Structure 1
Amino acid sequence: MANDDEVAARLGAVYPELPRGEQAIVRVLLDDYPFAALGSLRSLADRAKVSPPTASRLFARLGWSGFADFQAAVRAEGREHDRSRLREFVATAPDGPRRAAEQLRAGLDATVAAAGEPLLGRIAALLSQARGVWGMGGPLSELAADYLVRQLASLRPGVRRVPDGAAERARVLLDLGPGDLVVAYDFRRYSDTTARFVRAARARGARLVLVTDAWESPLAAQAEVLLRLPRDAAGPIAPLTHEIAVTELILVATVPLLTESPGRLENLDALTAELGQD
């Protein structure tokens, strides 16, 4: 890969020669790169106000075998970006702690900026109104999901973690319905088991809040609300700090909507003290 933006440069280079409809697709892609490239073909076409066949013609004209091939190129570019950052990080090992602190701070700033007030408000409304809330994640991101569940369960009833194991998850799905909400954390490399559960839950009418990365989980099209952490929050080792930070923001936004929280917390403290006695 010549550079981190080779695909974007390729789109920009051909733009003047394209028909108007295909130019509209390129404008959408470049205005929100790489995010606009990682949803569905139909959503991309809708944003550009053209038909899906018009979008398909653009990718064929540029030498990709189809939209999926184009998306694979964008994701491969993202992976190379991460490898480059890791190589740079290793090459400057003597300054590692200082650079790590700078990158962590930059990632946190970008995460807070990405989790804007309107987006947090929509998530908070769903968390406060759902009949039941189910949290889940993949490797490492399951820790953020556990944190959400532990904190939110202290504030409202009906909050649980999606269990491990196919049989246990199947039993959960038996009772899921339109009143339920799944909050999934899905980061590269995306979890197949998370995807299977979420798709089954959505088929039963459950709603989805998805927290993902700049390159977007394949589940993005399934989400009612999508919270996408920016590329700056990825870092060479994708620190968990950013996932926990955005979870804290979600919780802070949700608390004012949960009128039963004070009494529930008092009961929880009393029960904890009672159970902790010999």
Structure 2
Amino acid sequence: MENDPIASRLGAVYPELPPGERAVVRVLLDDYPFAALGSLRALAERAGVSPPTASRLFDRLGYDGFSDFQAAVRDGARDRSRLLEFITHRPQASESGGPHPGRPGGDTPAGAADPGAWSGVAGPEAPAGEEPAVTRSGGPGAAAPGGRAGARVSGAAAGESDGGAGLSSLWQAAEDLRAGLDGTLTAVPEPLYHRAAALLAEAGSVWALGGPLSELAADYLIRQLAGLRPKAERVPGSAPGRARTVLDLTASDVVVAYDFRRYSPRTARFVHAARARGARLVLVTDAWGSPLAAEAEVLIRLPREAAGPIAPLAHEIAVTELLLVATAARLAPSAAGRLAALDELTQTL
């Protein structure tokens, strides 16, 4: 977060602000950038001030109202590279292997900002068209990996092979992965899985697609779902193939779209065309909210916690697994017979 110009500016002007506007800045910086993404009223309530007081802050900063400030926050986050920032600003381990500031036993007081705990959005390898949500690492419930005794490599041995700083960053990423995954599984309520499963089980056909990264989750969904029921397909990649798919869609069909920042224009175009033919939408997206959210019959929104500096595909796969479990339960026992026949044919062929 220390590299974000908007956050830096908020911190710089803080001492000059009146008390009410200071309260707004504290809320923004404590939960940046997510505190800026809701309504002005919600932000004011969190800060304990009136909406006009909160609004004066953004006027003072030179924005054309709160919506202009929100747009600037979104644009700034879109330009940051989470992987690059991780590599550039990862915590540096001391030679003695002592605790790091901001961790238990470190020098940073409880509740103080830990710049190393923040990262930007999708790494430089992420293809254009998709970007995972901004993440704050080290969330509540983070646990050390390797819970069994002796599972960790000793500090001395690890230092000889990888270097203390590299090992520290690796374990932090593992802690973030575990905490983020726990948060994801907790955040999606069970009734939502059952609503999606009902659509997947009863649809005339199911078509899934995603962006450059999340298409892997879409592919996994279809590979497993095709064993449970017929007419489960990936959306073709070519424009002619997509056109033929849309041409035959009806109101009995379901599209499952995985759409994460940066949101894929190709995914949006297909979904809009499918919805125009009456198809229903199950959307899996992030905390920022895909532009397709308003069109979804079932909206599964993953929380903002992610797996350190790498795109959190594990979270998308975990949610997909639970969707499949709920669908399999709804399709039993017909799915059991289908799977048995599939196994027999697989051995024969």
Is TM more than 0.5 here? yes
Letter in 2 for 1:95: S
Q: 1:3 aligns with which of 3, 7, 30?
A: 7
For the residue of structure 1 that corresponds to 2:327, the secondary structure is: helix
Map of 2:311 onto structure 1: 238
Task: Report how far residue 72 of structure 1 moved.
Answer: 2.2
Once residues 2 and 227 of structure 1 are traced to their aligned partners in structure 2, the CA distance between those partners, rounded to angstroms, is 30
The verdict on how the C-alpha distance between 1:238 and 1:90 changes in structure 2, with shifts beyond 3 A counting, is farther
The answer to whether the Cα contact below 8 Å between 1:103 and 1:235 also exists between their aligned partners in 2 is yes
The answer to whether the Cα contact below 8 Å between 1:35 and 1:214 also exists between their aligned partners in 2 is no
Task: Report how far residue 107 of structure 1 moved.
Answer: 1.3
Map of 1:217-236 to 2, 5 A cutoff? Answer: 217-233=290-306, 235-236=308-309
Map of 2:129 onto structure 1: none
Q: 1:102 aligns with which of 172, 175, 190?
A: 175
Once residues 67 and 179 of structure 1 are traced to their aligned partners in structure 2, the CA distance between those partners, rounded to angstroms, is 42
Task: Report how far residue 213 of structure 1 moved.
Answer: 1.3
Map of 2:247 onto structure 1: 174
Once residues 216 and 35 of structure 2 are traced to their aligned partners in structure 1, the CA distance between those partners, rounded to angstroms, is 25
The answer to whether the Cα contact below 8 Å between 2:209 and 2:235 also exists between their aligned partners in 1 is yes
Q: 2:347 aligns with which of 260, 273, 277?
A: 273
Whether 1:252 and 2:325 are equivalent positions in the alignment is yes
The answer to whether the Cα contact below 8 Å between 1:187 and 1:217 also exists between their aligned partners in 2 is yes
Once residues 347 and 214 of structure 2 are traced to their aligned partners in structure 1, the CA distance between those partners, rounded to angstroms, is 31
Task: Report how far residue 149 of structure 1 moved.
Answer: 0.2
Task: Report how far residue 60 of structure 1 moved.
Answer: 11
Once residues 145 and 86 of structure 1 are traced to their aligned partners in structure 2, the CA distance between those partners, rounded to angstroms, is 29
Whether 1:191 and 2:264 are equivalent positions in the alignment is yes
For the residue of structure 1 that corresponds to 2:228, the secondary structure is: coil
Whether 1:72 and 2:71 are equivalent positions in the alignment is yes
Whether 1:151 and 2:224 are equivalent positions in the alignment is yes
Whether 1:204 and 2:208 are equivalent positions in the alignment is no
Once residues 328 and 55 of structure 2 are traced to their aligned partners in structure 1, the CA distance between those partners, rounded to angstroms, is 46
Task: Report how far residue 34 of structure 1 moved.
Answer: 3.9
TM-score by length of 1: 0.74
Task: Report how far residue 69 of structure 1 moved.
Answer: 3.9
Structure label with greater radius of gyration: 2
The verdict on how the C-alpha distance between 1:247 and 1:130 changes in structure 2, with shifts beyond 3 A counting, is same
**Greater RCO (Cα-Cα under 8 Å, separation 6 or more):** 1
Q: Root-mean-square deviation (CA), in Å?
A: 3.6
The answer to whether the Cα contact below 8 Å between 2:58 and 2:64 also exists between their aligned partners in 1 is no
Task: Report how far residue 70 of structure 1 moved.
Answer: 5.1
The answer to whether the Cα contact below 8 Å between 2:206 and 2:255 also exists between their aligned partners in 1 is yes
TM-score by length of 2: 0.60
The answer to whether the Cα contact below 8 Å between 1:145 and 1:185 also exists between their aligned partners in 2 is yes
For the residue of structure 2 that corresponds to 1:232, the secondary structure is: coil
Once residues 330 and 36 of structure 2 are traced to their aligned partners in structure 1, the CA distance between those partners, rounded to angstroms, is 32
Runs of 4+ in 1 over 6 A off after TM superposition: 58-61
Once residues 236 and 312 of structure 2 are traced to their aligned partners in structure 1, the CA distance between those partners, rounded to angstroms, is 24
The answer to whether the Cα contact below 8 Å between 1:120 and 1:250 also exists between their aligned partners in 2 is yes
> How many matched pairs?
245
The verdict on how the C-alpha distance between 1:147 and 1:274 changes in structure 2, with shifts beyond 3 A counting, is same
Letter in 2 for 1:166: A
Task: Report how far residue 252 of structure 1 moved.
Answer: 1.1
Once residues 320 and 225 of structure 2 are traced to their aligned partners in structure 1, the CA distance between those partners, rounded to angstroms, is 10
Structure 1 gaps of 5+ residues are 17-32, 39-43, 48-54
For the residue of structure 1 that corresponds to 2:170, the secondary structure is: helix
The verdict on how the C-alpha distance between 1:172 and 1:70 changes in structure 2, with shifts beyond 3 A counting, is farther
The answer to whether the Cα contact below 8 Å between 2:206 and 2:233 also exists between their aligned partners in 1 is yes
The answer to whether the Cα contact below 8 Å between 1:134 and 1:183 also exists between their aligned partners in 2 is yes
Letter in 1 for 2:295: Q
The verdict on how the C-alpha distance between 1:36 and 1:146 changes in structure 2, with shifts beyond 3 A counting, is farther
Letter in 1 for 2:304: R
